[in-house]
Amino acid sequence: MGLSSDARFWDRSSRKYARSAISDQAGYERTVARTRALLRSGDRVLELGCGTGTTALRLASDVRDYLATDVSIGMIAIANEKHTATPIPSLAFRAATAEAIAPETAPFDAVLGFNYLHLVRDLPGTLLRIHGLLATEGLFISKTPCVGDMNPLLRLALPPMRAIGVAPYAGVFRATTLIEHIRAAGFDILATENHATKGTDNRPYIVARKK
Ligand X SMILES: C[S@@+](CC[C@H](N)C(=O)[O-])C[C@H]1O[C@@H](n2cnc3c(N)ncnc32)[C@H](O)[C@@H]1O
Sequence-ordered strand ranges (E) for 33-156: 44-48, 65-70, 91-95, 108-114, 134-143
93: contact with ligand X by CB under 6 A: no
How many C-beta atoms surround the C-beta of residue 50 within 10 A?
26
- Applying CB under 6 A, among 10, 108, 173, 187 the residue interacting with ligand X is 10
75: contact with ligand X by CB under 6 A: yes
Residue 204: half-sphere exposure toward Cβ, Cα within 13 Å = 21
Spatial separation of the C-alpha atoms in residues 208 and 187, rounded to whole Å:
6
Cα angle, residue 208 at apex, residues 205 and 211 outer, rounded to 5°: 175
Name the CA radius of gyration of the chain, rounded. Answer: 16
- Applying CB under 6 A, among 39, 45, 46, 48 the residue interacting with ligand X is 48
Piece in contact with ligand X (CB under 6 A), picked from 32-40, 65-73, 131-139, 186-194: 65-73
27: contact with ligand X by CB under 6 A: no
119: contact with ligand X by CB under 6 A: yes
Kindly state the greatest CA–CA separation across the chain: 46
- Applying CB under 6 A, among 115, 177, 192, 194 the residue interacting with ligand X is 115
Report yes or no: 52 and 75 within 8 Å, Cβ to Cβ.
Answer: yes
114: contact with ligand X by CB under 6 A: yes
120: contact with ligand X by CB under 6 A: yes
71: contact with ligand X by CB under 6 A: yes
Spatial separation of the C-alpha atoms in residues 160 and 177, rounded to whole Å:
25
72: contact with ligand X by CB under 6 A: yes
46: contact with ligand X by CB under 6 A: no
Report yes or no: 146 and 182 within 8 Å, Cβ to Cβ.
Answer: no
Minimal distance, residue 27 CB to ligand X, in Å: 12
50: contact with ligand X by CB under 6 A: yes
Minimal distance, residue 115 CB to ligand X, in Å: 4
Which residues contribute to the site for ligand X (CB under 6 A)?
6, 10, 48-51, 54, 70-72, 75, 97, 114-116, 119-120
